[in-house]
Structure 1
Amino acid sequence: MTIFKIGEFSKLTQVSIRMLRYYDETGLLKPAQIDKLTGYRHYSVEQIPDLQKIILLRDLGYNVAEIAVALSNWNDGFLTEQLKQKRREIENTIRQEKERLAKMDAALSSIGKDEISKQYNFMLKQVPSYPVVSVRRVIPNYFCEGELWGELTSMITCEKIDIAPQIPGIAIYHDQEFKEEDVDVEVCLVVRHLGRNQSGIAHSQTEQVDLMACAMVYGPFENIKNAYLSFAKWLTEHSVYRMAVPSRQICHRNYWNETSPDQYLTEIQIPLGKFIQNRT
């Protein structure tokens, strides 16, 4: 077995001595031999494939612990699944960074403008009960809501459910608070006749709400946040009311029937209760 000094091995593999020492310290690539008198590290040509695997995984974004697991389970099936998982993680990171860039662009365009003070007109109305077919899931985040709509429409087509096309879709948000992940969402379409629950799809009546604060939000979904801020001011001015749950959104115009987010039209619906005054 031919043995190379660490400097020679560094030149041959184009990996710095500093990184070779780091891989030794972390246990990823131990030297083939260590001189007992000098403590010098020596490597063999047989170690080059392992080093190449380490470099590949490092460049793919694996940390030390992940690299160690991959090296100890190096086979086609395991590595393929690992790479698919890492790809999903990278895609999610890219999506988050794109969202961050979009927020940055919005912030740059709004400098000098009082965007938060924009007022939305809230009106009070009674919302009747509707017969609906629905899918309810806990989804990773609000951006995954489209998957629920896709699942619901696929089931409707498969089961040939007779919906009422003149009434837009209803999204119901069951969480007591705003959540960035693991959100409880139910998507509903109004039907002409209720059927039987089957295959993950529910037939039910939505709850009648006697007092619902409603506002129309034009443009992309990001505008909904400012609508809720405006609603906070509305509650301050109408202190007899308190906000209840679950809130709803009615999709009048979105990606189903509009190509530009600027043309979206979403109605937010927030149920209201009244504060009960204590009488003495």
Structure 2
Amino acid sequence: MSHALTIGDFSKATHLSVRTLRHYHQIGLLEPTDVDPDTGYRRYETEQIPAAQVIRRFRALDMSLDDIRAVLSAPDLRTRDQLIAAHLARMEAGLARTQQAVASLRDLLEHRAAPTTIGHRSAPATPAAAITEDVDVADALQWFQGALGELRATLTAQGIRADGTPGGMFADELFADEHGRATVFIPCHGPVRPMGRVAPTTVPAAELATIVHSGPHEEIDRAYGSLATHVAEHELAVDGPLREYYLVGPGDTADKGAWQTEIGWPVFATGTSG
């Protein structure tokens, strides 16, 4: 037999504040069994304590209120378990990102000046298959992986062989405004037929100051910083999108530590370059 509790007593029983309980009532997550029409006082049943405890623990695991609502309203245990497992997987992925960020920060603090090798090269005009879109910087990595996969699939479907290292070109606005034009391309010779997002293009020629970043793309900013410092001190930069060439990338290995990305900064070549 259940018994009614005032919102104050229910708060003490569940360690959820009165303010939180009122909010959960407003959004329909945990509703009192009775609300006095004259005073607005809320009363809860003791049978609701386990549900409140579950909600409190899910919130401690950073589960969103919408996800908690989906778990509590799941039609069966299998669906409920799948929802919980999906959240735990997201937490594990977040923990891995945090650990990677901590390791990167520790390395940055302990080795402030990373060794750099700056190169120079002339990139010729190159026919290629490409995907060009305006993207948000927060989605850039996922967009890049999807675009590169679509390019490879399209070339395979059309019987066209890749003829060079895949690359990307990124407008200044993508860095400055967190939204801008991005292009991913695969050099190839042959009549590329437009299909889906894929279209033929010619990657323009450019003189580039270069640096190679080893490791995951999440840490590529250090290489960008080193290259920018060199260009500012020793080069004459020119307008044009920054470039990346994926010497070893997701299409070659799932081991992010083995990835090799060449970054190219457009410069005006002089007799002292190279």
Q: Could you say whether these structures have the same fold, taking a TM-score greater than 0.5 normalized by the shorter chain as the test? A: yes
Contact persistence 1:33–1:42 (CA under 8 A): yes
CA apart distance, 1:112: 4.0
Partner of 1:277: none
Amino acid at match of 2:31: L
| Alignment RMSD (CA, Å) | 4.5
Matched, 1:170 2:172: no
| Per-residue deviation, residues 133-182 of structure 1 (Å, max 9, x unmatched) | 1223426434312222122222233x324123x51111222343526965
Q: Partners of 2:37 and 2:174 in 1: how far apart? A: 63
CA apart distance, 1:30: 3.2
Matched, 1:30 2:32: yes
Percent of aligned pairs with the same amino acid = 16
Using the size of structure 2 for normalisation, the TM-score is 0.68
Query: Cα distance 1:43–1:257, how it changes in 2: closer, same or farther (>3 A)?
Result: closer
Amino acid at match of 2:34: A
Task: Give ranges in structure 1 of 5+ residues lacking alignment.
Answer: 275-280
CA apart distance, 1:249: 1.0
Task: Decide which structure has the larger Cα Rg and report it.
Answer: 1
Q: Partners of 2:247 and 2:90 in 1: how far apart? A: 29
Q: Partners of 1:193 and 1:59 in 2: how far apart? A: 58
Contact persistence 1:127–1:212 (CA under 8 A): yes
What is the aligned length? 254
CA apart distance, 1:3: 5.0
Q: Partners of 1:58 and 1:233 in 2: how far apart? A: 49
Query: Cα distance 1:112–1:192, how it changes in 2: closer, same or farther (>3 A)?
Result: closer
Amino acid at match of 1:196: R
Task: Give ranges in structure 2 of 5+ residues lacking alignment.
Answer: 270-274
Where in structure 2 are the equivalents of 1:212-251 lying within 5 Å? 212-221=208-217, 224-238=220-234, 241-251=236-246
Q: Partners of 2:57 and 2:165 in 1: how far apart? A: 47
Matched, 1:120 2:117: yes
| Per-residue deviation, residues 4-30 of structure 1 (Å, max 9, x unmatched) | 3449x85xxx97165374465333433
Contact persistence 1:120–1:231 (CA under 8 A): no
Amino acid at match of 1:4: A
Give the SS at the match of 2:130: strand
Amino acid at match of 1:115: A
Correspondence for 2:129 among 122, 133, 150: 133
Partner of 2:158: 160
Amino acid at match of 2:201: S
Amino acid at match of 2:202: Q
Query: Cα distance 1:249–1:227, how it changes in 2: closer, same or farther (>3 A)?
Result: same
Using the size of structure 1 for normalisation, the TM-score is 0.67
Q: Partners of 1:180 and 1:99 in 2: how far apart? A: 24
Q: Partners of 1:94 and 1:179 in 2: how far apart? A: 31
Contact persistence 2:14–2:52 (CA under 8 A): no
Query: Cα distance 1:201–1:259, how it changes in 2: closer, same or farther (>3 A)?
Result: closer
Give the SS at the match of 1:192: coil
